[in-house]
Chains A and B, each alone.
Chain A
C-alpha cells in the first residue's frame, strides 16, 4: 500500500510537470481542431449562433465562389515556385560556404543577416524596393540599361516577386544545410579522394545522399510553411492584381475577419488543411526512397 502511494505520488508529479503542455494542447490544439469540424458545416457570422447548413459551405466553395479556384491556383503556384527554389538555392549556398576561404565567417554572417530582419520590416522594405518609379529594383535595372520590371503591378510578375523576397531570406536554410554538411564524416571524402573521385562526383554521390534526411525534413517543413504564407500578401498586394496573389490563407483571413463568414472560412481552412496533408503524404511517399538513414547501413 505504501509503495502504491509513493508510485501514485510519482505519477502525479510527472503530470504536474507536463500540465502546462497538456492544457495548451487541449485548449489550443484539440479544442479548435474538433470544434472546427462542426463549425465548417455551419453558417456563422461570429456574432450570432452557428446555424447548421450541412455541406452548403463546400458546395458554394467549389461551384460558386469566384475567388476560390483562383486562390487554389495561386497557392499551388506559390508553393511549387518557392519551395524548390529556396531548397536548391539554400543547398548550393551551403555547399559553397562549407569550405575555408578568406572571409568565410563574414560570408556566413552576411547570408544569415536578412533572416534576422523582422517579417514586417522586410516586407515594408520590399514594398519600397518594388515601387515602380523610385524603388531600388527599377533603379538598378535602369542603371544597367535594362527594361523596367512590373513587379507587384502585373498579374504575371506579382507572385514571383513575392517568391523573390523569400529567397532573400534563404539564410536559415543555408545554416541548417551547412550544419548538416559539417556533420558528414570527413573519412568519406578522404576515401573518395584516394579512389580518385572527381569533385562533382563526390558532391553527387557522397554529400547529397548523406544530407538527404535534412533535405527531406526541410522539404516537408517548407511545404507546410509555404501553404500558410500570409504576411507577404497582406502587406504587399492584398491578393491582387486580379487574384494572382490571393493565397488561400489570406483569403481565409479575409472571409473570416473582413467578410464575417466564420463558418465558410473554417470550411476553407479544412480544404487547405487537406491539401497540405495530401502534399505532405505524397512527399513522404515519394522522397522516402531517396532518403539515406545512417542506421540502415547494415542492410
Chain B
C-alpha cells in the first residue's frame, strides 16, 4: 500500500513539475497566436472614432455590428466575393478531376515511359513557380486572355503535381484485386476509377479539395498580374488594394477582411481532420 501511493505520488509530482511548465509555455504561445485575430475582431466591432483612441480601448464599449454591412458596401464586396468563390470552385474542380485521372494512370496502368513522366511531374515540384511567370504572361496575352480569369482557371485543369503524387501514393495502398474483380465483370477503366476507387479514396480526395480551395482562395500573384478591371477582381486583390482607401476606417476594413477569412475558418472547423491528416500524409508521401 505504501509503495503504491509512493509510486502514484512520484508520477503526479513528475506531472506537476515538467508538465506545468509545458502547459504554461504553450498557454503563453497560444495567447500570442490568438491575440492578433482577437484584436482584429475588436477593431471590426468598434465605432468610427473609437479606433483611434490613446490609450486604446481593448474592448469596444459598444458593439457596432453594422460595420459588417457598411464595410462591405463601400468596395463592391459581394461581387468580388462571388468572383473569388467562382474562381476557387473552378480551380478546385479542375485540379481534383485532372489529378485523380493522372494519378490513376500513373498508379494503375502500364505503359512505356510511365516512370519517366512520373519523375518529371514530381521533379517539377522543385521548380520555383516564378520561373514560368513572364513567358506564360506573354503566352496568355497573345491568346487574348489578358484581363480575364482564364490564366488562373485553365491551368488548374492540367493536373497538379502535388495532388497527382498524393493520389498515386494513396492508390498504392489499395489492393489491385478490387480493380481486377471489376475488370472480370467487364468494367472499363473509367468505371473502375469513378465507381470503385474514388469512393474508397474519399479521405485523400477531401484533403485535396480543402488544400486546393485554400490555394485558390489565397492566390495573389496571378490575379495581380492578369486582372485589371476592378469588377473582375478577387478578394485578395481587393483587400490589398483597398487598404489605402480604408486608411481612416480600420473598423470597416477589418470587418470586410473577417468576411474574407470566414469561408476558410468554416472549412477549417468542419474539416479539421482533413487538414491535419493531409499535412501528415503530404509529408510522409513525399519522403518515400
**Residues on the A chain within 8 Å of B199, using CB:** none
Q: Is B40 an interface residue (CB 8 A)?
A: yes
Q: Is B174 an interface residue (CB 8 A)?
A: no
- The stretch of A31-39, A55-63, A64-72, A73-81 that contacts the partner chain: A31-39
User: Do residues A120 and B236 form an inter-chain contact, with CB atoms below 8 A?
Assistant: yes
Chain B interface SS verdict (over half): helix
User: Do residues A112 and B135 form an inter-chain contact, with CB atoms below 8 A?
Assistant: no
Q: Is B272 an interface residue (CB 8 A)?
A: yes
**Residues on the B chain within 8 Å of A206, using CB:** none
* A32 and B135 contact, Cβ closer than 8 Å, known pairs A20-B158, A136-B36: yes
Instruction: Give the distance in Å from the alpha carbon of A102 to the alpha carbon of B15 in the complex.
Output: 11
Q: Is A208 an interface residue (CB 8 A)?
A: no
User: Do residues A21 and B283 form an inter-chain contact, with CB atoms below 8 A?
Assistant: no
Q: Is B144 an interface residue (CB 8 A)?
A: no
Q: Is A298 an interface residue (CB 8 A)?
A: no
Instruction: Give the distance in Å from the alpha carbon of A171 to the alpha carbon of B279 in the complex.
Output: 11
Chain A: minimal CB distance from B235 (Å) = 8
User: Do residues A124 and B134 form an inter-chain contact, with CB atoms below 8 A?
Assistant: no
User: Do residues A20 and B159 form an inter-chain contact, with CB atoms below 8 A?
Assistant: yes
User: Do residues A120 and B131 form an inter-chain contact, with CB atoms below 8 A?
Assistant: no
User: Do residues A235 and B26 form an inter-chain contact, with CB atoms below 8 A?
Assistant: no
Q: Is A176 an interface residue (CB 8 A)?
A: yes
Chain A interface SS verdict (over half): helix
Chain B: minimal CB distance from A9 (Å) = 10
**Residues on the B chain within 8 Å of A214, using CB:** 283, 287
Please pick, from B55, B139, B214, B254, the residue contacting A128 in the complex, using a CB distance under 8 A. Answer: B254
Residue of chain B at shortest CB distance from A12: B111
Q: Is B3 an interface residue (CB 8 A)?
A: no
Interface residues of A in 255-293 (CB under 8 A from B): 256-257, 262, 265-266, 269, 272-273, 276, 280
Instruction: Give the distance in Å from the alpha carbon of A118 to the alpha carbon of B223 in the complex.
Output: 15
Q: Is B155 an interface residue (CB 8 A)?
A: yes
User: Do residues B109 and A17 form an inter-chain contact, with CB atoms below 8 A?
Assistant: yes
Instruction: Give the distance in Å from the alpha carbon of A228 to the alpha carbon of B54 in the complex.
Output: 38
Interface residues of A in 200-231 (CB under 8 A from B): 213-214, 217, 224, 227-228, 230-231
User: Do residues B26 and A33 form an inter-chain contact, with CB atoms below 8 A?
Assistant: no
- The stretch of B64-72, B114-122, B179-187, B201-209 that contacts the partner chain: B114-122
Q: Is A88 an interface residue (CB 8 A)?
A: no
User: Do residues A31 and B102 form an inter-chain contact, with CB atoms below 8 A?
Assistant: no
**Residues on the B chain within 8 Å of A252, using CB:** 130, 133
Chain A: minimal CB distance from B111 (Å) = 3
**Residues on the B chain within 8 Å of A39, using CB:** 134-135
Q: Is A240 an interface residue (CB 8 A)?
A: no
**Residues on the B chain within 8 Å of A18, using CB:** 101-102, 105-106, 114, 117, 159
**Residues on the B chain within 8 Å of A87, using CB:** none
**Residues on the A chain within 8 Å of B30, using CB:** 106-107, 110-111
User: Do residues B279 and A172 form an inter-chain contact, with CB atoms below 8 A?
Assistant: yes
User: Do residues A133 and B25 form an inter-chain contact, with CB atoms below 8 A?
Assistant: no
Instruction: Give the distance in Å from the alpha carbon of A123 to the alpha carbon of B241 in the complex.
Output: 12
Residue of chain A at shortest CB distance from B84: A118
Q: Is B164 an interface residue (CB 8 A)?
A: yes
Please pick, from A96, A134, A266, the residue contacting B26 in the complex, using a CB distance under 8 A. Answer: A96
Residue of chain A at shortest CB distance from B109: A14
Please pick, from A35, A116, A136, the residue contacting B265 in the complex, using a CB distance under 8 A. Answer: A116
Chain A: interface residue total (CB-CB under 8 A): 90
Residue of chain B at shortest CB distance from A131: B250
Q: Is B81 an interface residue (CB 8 A)?
A: no
* A116 and B264 contact, Cβ closer than 8 Å, known pairs A124-B239, A224-B126: yes
Q: Is A113 an interface residue (CB 8 A)?
A: yes
Please pick, from A176, A224, A231, A249, the residue contacting B283 in the complex, using a CB distance under 8 A. Answer: A176
**Residues on the A chain within 8 Å of B136, using CB:** 28, 32
Interface residues of A in 97-121 (CB under 8 A from B): 97, 99, 101-102, 106-114, 116-121
Q: Is A151 an interface residue (CB 8 A)?
A: no
Residue of chain A at shortest CB distance from B114: A14
Residue of chain A at shortest CB distance from B129: A228
Residue of chain B at shortest CB distance from A180: B283
Chain B: minimal CB distance from A233 (Å) = 12
Residue of chain A at shortest CB distance from B237: A120
Known contacts A102-B23, A129-B36, A134-B52; 17 further A-B pairs (Cβ under 8 A): A24-B155, A31-B135, A33-B132, A35-B135, A97-B26, A101-B19, A117-B37, A119-B236, A120-B260, A125-B257, A139-B55, A176-B279, A179-B283, A179-B284, A252-B130, A257-B225, A276-B128
B residues near A (Cβ < 8 Å) are 18-19, 22-23, 25-27, 29-30, 33-37, 39-40, 43, 51-52, 54-56, 98, 101-102, 104-106, 109-112, 114, 117, 120-121, 124, 126-139, 141, 155, 157-159, 161, 164, 189, 214, 217-218, 220-221, 224-225, 235-236, 239-240, 243, 250, 253-254, 257, 260-261, 264-265, 267-268, 272, 275-276, 279-280, 282-284, 286-287
* 6 contacting pairs across A/B (C-beta < 8 A): A20-B157, A29-B132, A111-B29, A228-B128, A262-B138, A269-B131
Rank and list the top 10 A-B pairs by shortest CB-CB distance, nearest first. A17-B105, A24-B158, A14-B111, A179-B280, A21-B159, A32-B132, A32-B135, A14-B109, A20-B98, A18-B105
